[in-house]
Amino acid sequence: MSKLFCGSCSSSETMPKVTSDSYGKTKDGQTITRYTLSNSKGISVQILDFGGVITTINVPDKNGKFSDVTLGFDNMQGWEEDTFYFGALVGRYANRIAGGQFTLDGKTYDLCVNNGPNSLHGGKVGFNKKVWKSKIVDDKVVLVYVSPDGEENYPGEVTLTVTYSLDEDNALAIDYQAITTKATPVNFTNHAYFNLGGHNNGGIKDHVVTFHADSFLPLDENTIPTGEVKKVDGSLMDLRKPVRLGDRLDQVGGGTGYDNTFCLNNKGALVLGARVEHPPTGRFLECHTTEPGLHLYTGYYIKDAKGKAGAVYGQFGGLCLEAQHYPDSVHQPSFPDCILRPGQIYTQKTVFKFGVM
């Protein structure tokens, strides 16, 4: 039975803002709660306190037909066994750290190497596999995870609070706030995979993307930024005008598609980073963020993932818009600083806004 929490609702409203129900249990017996955010337009978003994963985003097309436009699973077994980070909150450090090692204040830290020679998305057991403390505050879902000092060999106890909210303009906002007891690199993002044709649409080649970025980060042979911030002019990274993904994916990365960070140079202001359109359904998605980087990943490494309602997700089955600091910033002094120190407060706001063209 769903429980209704509607602290900011008036009695005249007929639709709840937030509900919660029991989703199931983890392998070790922890009960997982599912939260549903909804607005008067019929938009709904479902979130678990396991990994903070976004399980469902239901939005209408140009004919008013609703579809779930994010990839995911139907049950806890799927989420616990997931290797693609579907819908998840990622930390302590999203994206890659070269060589699985960094030196901070004269001390070297060795991390789990789980992506070629690199450490990826927080290591062996990142924030995406943790059970978060959760509650409803007014019309928002608030998740808190306390990462112990030394977890995945990162220094400091980090407390991360993530707040999800959905407004009447069909904008899903994700607000992050973190503190630490010791200096530590941090980089947080949400790793939702979007397919605006519906999660079972089969692919994203019919999607059209626009990135409001003049520069990107070139990569070396291990998918690590070289340290250069390069203009997109004259390259396949120039997405400043609408580009149909099917016209580019075979050319980028030797056919692996996009797995690249674009530089927004927003200096902490909330700006429009990217827009994705799906002409067949008329749906669009805008990503606004305060982060310096917006990483586009087009899902090349998805393979035979058994998803929701019997769907099987394959290569280029969804795309990610990962708002974050630059990858491997801990090794690049010229990149925006990724070190959080005691007494400082890390903040980030990312907004995914849905609509119909």
Is residue 322 part of the annotated active site? The answer reads yes
Q: Find the angle CA(197)-CA(201)-CA(206) to the nearest 5 degrees.
A: 60
Q: Mark whether 121 is an active-site residue.
A: no
Q: Which of 121, 151, 152, 191 is catalytic?
A: 191
Q: Is the Cβ–Cβ distance between 193 and 307 less than 8 Å?
A: no
Look at the block and give the residue holding tokens 């959905």: 166
Cα 182 to Cα 178: distance, rounded to the nearest angstrom: 12
Our measurement of the distance from residue 172's CA atom to the centroid of its chain's CA atoms, rounded to an integer in Å, reads 12
Q: Judge whether 58 is annotated as a binding position.
A: no
Closest CA relative to residue 188, chosen from 201, 175, 207: 175
In whole angstroms, give the CA distance from residue 177 to residue 290: 13
193 is in an annotated binding site: yes
With left for phi above 0 and alpha for psi between -120 and 50, is residue 135 left, alpha or beta? beta
Instruction: Work out the angle at residue 77's Cα, subtended by the Cα atoms of residues 91 and 2, and round it to the nearest 5 degrees.
Output: 90
Is 191 annotated as a binding-site member?
A: yes
How many CB atoms within 10 Å of residue 14? Answer: 7
- Known binder of ligand: residue 192? yes
**Is 220 marked as binding a ligand?**
no
Unique residue bearing structure tokens 């993530």: 162
**CA atoms of 216 and 208, how far apart (whole Å):** 19
- Report whether 212 belongs to an annotated binding site: no
| Catalytic option among 151, 152, 286, 322 | 322
Asked if 2 contacts 19 with a C-beta cutoff of 8 angstroms, the reply is yes
Prior bond of 244 cis (ω within 30°): no
Structure tokens at 149: 């000092």
Numbered residues of the known binding site: 95-96, 191-193, 259
Question: Which residues are part of the catalytic machinery?
Answer: 191, 322
Numbered residues of the known binding site for beta-D-galactose: 95-96, 191-193, 259
